[in-house]
Amino acid sequence: MKLELMVNGGLRIEPESDLEWDVLRCIGYDAVTHDLARQLGDGFDEPAGDWQEFVLPELEDTFSGQLQIVREAIEQAAKDDGHLDLLPEDADDWYGALNQDRLAIEERFHFALGELRPSLDVSKAELAGQIVIAPPSAIKDRWSRRLPDPVLATASGWMSVKQRARQAGVELPLVISDHADWNELRQTIRDTGAQLVWVTHGREDALVYWSQQQGLAAEPLRIEAYEDDAEEGE
């Protein structure tokens, strides 16, 4: 399967066999039996009746719509073009569908990372062949010299930019945002005791809605011409 960045900022996928087209088709079907909307409701503190009446139907429509859009795009591309173009304006739908698929697979197969333990007191010999997780800044520290013949992988939304990966010496770029997740964001708001919450850098609607349901003043903060030159995670 070939991947190619497009001039308009999109991504062209060129499957090279029927099997690879079938792999793409799984994106739209793996998540069908995964009731993500109801699962998200388990994390809300608001009354169950409000969730069932106002939020759940909209989420179900959004999630099922994303899967339908992706399925139709794949089938149309397989039939007519021989390649699949992911355009910038379709990014939200593809991101949503892929995330639903990821959660469904994770729930089905119960992936486990194995034993997790601190690496600071582990000998260099023991670190050989192991996966070591550290913040990006640690790689530039003397501590990283203890890693025998390392292969550097970085998980960041910035890894979609090839030049950034090359400049950082990253051999395995993982295009995964390292921002706080939903539970962490809500817990941080609770821990700070904030009464006024400004939400930015992402899709703000859900967090603004949740904050308002907790009796907090919350608004989306939209910054025009915002450019973040810093690496995620630093």
- Residue 104 maps to a domain: yes
Segments forming the whole domain that contains residue 20: 2-109
Nearest-CA neighbor of 157 among 178, 171, 172? 178
Query: At a CB cut-off of 8 Å and minimum separation 6, what does 161 contact?
Result: none
C-alpha dihedral (55, 56, 57, 60), degrees to nearest 10: 120
- Residue 226 maps to a domain: no
- Residue 230 maps to a domain: no
Kindly state whether residues 97 and 128 are assigned to the same domain.
Answer: no
Distance CA 107, CA 94 (A): 20
Kindly state whether residues 97 and 34 are assigned to the same domain.
Answer: yes
| pTM of the full structure | 0.49
Kindly state whether residues 95 and 41 are assigned to the same domain.
Answer: yes
- Residue 156 maps to a domain: yes
Work out the number of other CB atoms within 10 angstroms of the CB of residue 17. Answer: 9
- Residue 95 maps to a domain: yes
Secondary structure class of 209 (helix, strand, coil): helix
Residue where one domain finishes, among candidates 109, 133, 155: 109
Query: At a CB cut-off of 8 Å and minimum separation 6, what does 100 contact?
Result: 31, 34, 36, 63, 66, 67
How wide is the angle at C-alpha 64 spanned by C-alphas 90 and 29, nearest 5°? 90
Kindly state whether residues 9 and 104 are assigned to the same domain.
Answer: yes
Kindly state whether residues 165 and 186 are assigned to the same domain.
Answer: no
How is the beta sheet containing 2-5 ordered, strand by strand? 2-5, 11-14, 84-86
- Residue 152 maps to a domain: yes
Secondary structure class of 148 (helix, strand, coil): coil
Secondary structure class of 10 (helix, strand, coil): coil
- Residue 231 maps to a domain: no
Kindly state whether residues 154 and 186 are assigned to the same domain.
Answer: no
The two tokens of residue 79 are 């039939």
Nearest-CA neighbor of 147 among 115, 181, 124? 124
Tens-digit pLDDT profile for the chain (234 aa)?
888 888 888 889 999 888 889 989 888 777 776 677 666 666 555 556 666 777 778 888 888 899 999 999 999 999 887 899 999 889 889 988 888 888 888 777 777 667 788 888 888 888 888 888 888 888 888 888 888 888 889 888 778 788 888 888 888 888 776 666 777 888 889 999 999 999 886 667 888 988 999 999 999 887 654 444 444 444
- Residue 227 maps to a domain: no
Kindly state whether residues 57 and 103 are assigned to the same domain.
Answer: yes
Work out the number of other CB atoms within 10 angstroms of the CB of residue 181. Answer: 9
What is the model's pLDDT at position 40? 67
What is the model's pLDDT at position 215? 93
Kindly state whether residues 11 and 45 are assigned to the same domain.
Answer: yes
